[in-house]
Amino acid sequence: MLRLSKMADYGTVVMTTLLHAPALSRSAADISIAIRVPAPTVSKILKMLARAGLLVSSRGAKGGYLLSRPADKISLAEIIYAMDGPIGMTECSVTPGLCAQETACAVRANWQRVNQAVLSVLQGITLDQMIAPVVQHTNTAPVTLTRMAQHAAVASSSTN
């Protein structure tokens, strides 16, 4: 299963929380209460996002965190990278030379293609889009289930 880390997920939630009042500096405690995530976790996330240049922090009684630039200029890929490091579907997609099978691997180039496609999608989704309502397509689930059923039927007929 392909899945984002919990920290990358929370990083996105923290960033979108700051969008509700973009000019208002928010403390880790405020954000923690708003998103119901423990304050130490939120503090760690805020520091990582600030270190990556996605947030600006200020100290003092009215200190806190602000987005470093407009939400439509921050990609989902940047947030994930700030939290988890390079985005890669396989080890060799990110860092060549780590896999002993790399030179003879028949699927490496295709995994790199998949990796680039995923990365392009994540780079194309901006923070402001993450809080926009999603338009539901009513026919998506039945088509997916139909394709899954067809695949299962083909698989079972080939084993008989």
What does the pLDDT read at residue 41?
A: 97
Domain assignment present for residue 80? The answer is yes
Domain assignment present for residue 119? The answer is no
Mean pLDDT per 10-residue run, the chain (160 residues)?
A: 88 95 91 96 97 93 91 96 90 78 86 91 95 74 52 51
Split into its structural domains, the chain has a count of 1
Within the chain, strands assigned E span 55-58, 64-67
Domain assignment present for residue 150? The answer is no
Instruction: Please state the φ and ψ torsions of residue 3, each to the nearest 5 degrees.
Output: -155, 140
CATH number of the domain encompassing residue 42: 1.10.10.10
Domain assignment present for residue 79? The answer is yes
Domain extent at residue 16 = 6-85+126-131
What does the pLDDT read at residue 134?
A: 79
Q: pTM score, two decimals?
A: 0.79
How many Å apart are CA 37 and CA 73, to the nearest integer?
26
Sign of CA dihedral 72, 77, 80, 81: negative
Contact yes or no for 78/52 (Cβ under 8 A): yes
Domain assignment present for residue 97? The answer is no
What does the pLDDT read at residue 112?
A: 87
Domain assignment present for residue 143? The answer is no
The one-character DSSP state at 63 is -
